[in-house]
């Protein structure tokens, strides 16, 4: 049982962003979460989209 408790203490959950308080307004909290979401999901997607460009169609020369 002691071993189980020691191992459990090693694995702590990730810390979440601070919850809204009177010093940390709801709008500021949502801005922080939105910024993190953009950095994690939108920016890499935009980089992938810009890296994979479709070639422009060429006209046949007769």
Pick the more confident residue, 40 or 62.
40
Q: Give residues with Cβ within 8 angstroms of 18, minimum separation 6.
A: 24, 29
pTM (two decimals)? 0.36
Contact 32, 17 (CB under 8 A): yes
pLDDT tens-digit profile of 2-55?
888 888 778 877 677 766 666 666 787 788 888 998 888 877 777 777 766 666
CA distance 2 to 36: 38
d(CA 33, CA 37): 6
Q: Are the C-beta atoms of 29 and 19 separated by less than 8 Å?
A: yes
């Amino acid at each position: 049982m002691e071993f189980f408790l020691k191992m459990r203490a090693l694995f702590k959950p990730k810390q979440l962003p601070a919850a809204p308080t009177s010093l940390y307004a709801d709008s500021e909290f949502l801005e922080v979460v939105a910024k993190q979401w953009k950095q994690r999901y939108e920016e890499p997607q935009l980089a992938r989209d810009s890296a994979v460009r479709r070639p422009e169609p060429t006209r046949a020369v007769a």
